[in-house]
Structure 1
Amino acid sequence: MARVVPETHAEILAAAARRFAASGYKGTSLQDIAREVGVSKATVLYHFANKEALLTELMAPGFAALHELDDRFAGLTGAGAQRVAGEGFVDLAVRFRRKIALLRGEFPELLQQPAFAHVQQISERLIAALAGHSTRPAARIAALVVLAGIAETCGEFDDVADDELRDALLGLVRRALAPPD
């Protein structure tokens, strides 16, 4: 009986997600992904121009949600910006926690890639909103710690239900961020 070779786009994406989770983005080659799917590297390259294109498509739903969040807090100031940014980022991080976990430890380096440049820009606006647009260093430091901590925490607690994780993170955000000036 001939083996059926799974050559679908979705199967390659799923294998890439598993490999990135197990070995990291840098530690995974296109050959590793091809081997896991049971296809040639050429088949992977037929579907994706390169490894960066594969990662970009894998992260596209999260990127779209991040852009939507950016639009929601754009133009808000003070406590309004802080609330929308905090609640929105917690929701986004919980919803996409498995994809965020794929990038753990490699995120700063990945932000240097052209496909991720917009994420760095949105992150800077998100930090400003979480700080309530305060110029006080303590407010910006707290915002950065909250942002990084939420992303790291979501990847660590796979066994916690979404609602429970969301409630815990929102409580933390409210305690960690001082009301804006």
Structure 2
Amino acid sequence: MARMVPETHDEILVAAARRFAATGYRGTSLQDIAREVGCSKAAVLYHFANKEAILTELMAPAIGVLQALDERIRAQRGAAAQQVAAEGFVDLAVRFRREIALLRGEFPELLQQPAFAHIQRISERLVDALAGHPQRPSARITALVLLAGISETCGEFADVGDEELRDALLALARRALEPVD
């Protein structure tokens, strides 16, 4: 028999993460999450204002690390900023590969939501730092492809150890990025 109220806030988060991974953020309803937990939609809404609030909480640790990376990048210039950006983003992507996988294919749309609007500005600074030469289209294209590729790769290679994945991604980044003068 289904329970009427979820035992914990965390139980809803776990169920939501499973549903988002299986059917995507857009493809998951609050009712789907409630069904996964074994409670009513009202019980889910008791713990979270809406589906965006669930996603925001799931992504909060990764966003916190991204904001810290942004601060470290802004404290650097040139080659140092490029190195901090590459290493920091690879570390973030490897560490939070499960969370990144939840957003696969939906990231641009999610950036339009108010809770994630600041991520767009951080992403732009990250691209500038990686490009090293933000005025050169080829450098920006490389930076964008590298960011997308790193994110996608981390989701695809969940069975590869963190150090092996990190080393491979950093080697790729070093080969792909134009050196900064």
Q: Is 2:170 the counterpart of 1:170?
A: yes
Q: Give the corresponding residue for 1:67.
A: 67
Distance 2:142 2:151 in 1: 14
AA in 2 matched with 1:12: I
Shift of the 67–169 alpha-carbon distance from structure 1 to 2, 3 Å rule, reads same
Q: Any idea what the Cα deviations from partners look like across 1:137-170, whole Å, max 9, x if unmatched?
A: 1111111111111111111111111111000000
Q: Give the corresponding residue for 2:159.
A: 159
Q: What is the aligned-residue RMSD (CA, Å)? A: 1.6
Deviation at 1:136? 1.3
In the alignment, is the contact (CA less than 8 A) between 2:90 and 2:150 conserved in 1? Answer: yes
Q: Give the corresponding residue for 1:96.
A: 96
AA in 2 matched with 1:173: A
Q: Give the corresponding residue for 1:80.
A: 80
Distance 1:40 1:134 in 2: 50
AA in 2 matched with 1:11: E
Percent identical pairs in the alignment equals 77
Distance 1:173 1:94 in 2: 14
Q: Give the corresponding residue for 2:121.
A: 121
Q: Is 2:9 the counterpart of 1:9?
A: yes
Deviation at 1:134? 3.8
In the alignment, is the contact (CA less than 8 A) between 2:2 and 2:38 conserved in 1? Answer: no
Q: Any idea what the Cα deviations from partners look like across 1:34-79, whole Å, max 9, x if unmatched?
A: 1111111111000000000110011000000000000011032211
Shift of the 168–2 alpha-carbon distance from structure 1 to 2, 3 Å rule, reads closer
Shift of the 5–52 alpha-carbon distance from structure 1 to 2, 3 Å rule, reads closer
* Structure 2 residues without counterparts, runs of 5 or longer: none
* Structure 1 residues without counterparts, runs of 5 or longer: none
What is the TM-score with the length of structure 1 in the denominator?
A: 0.96
Distance 1:56 1:5 in 2: 22
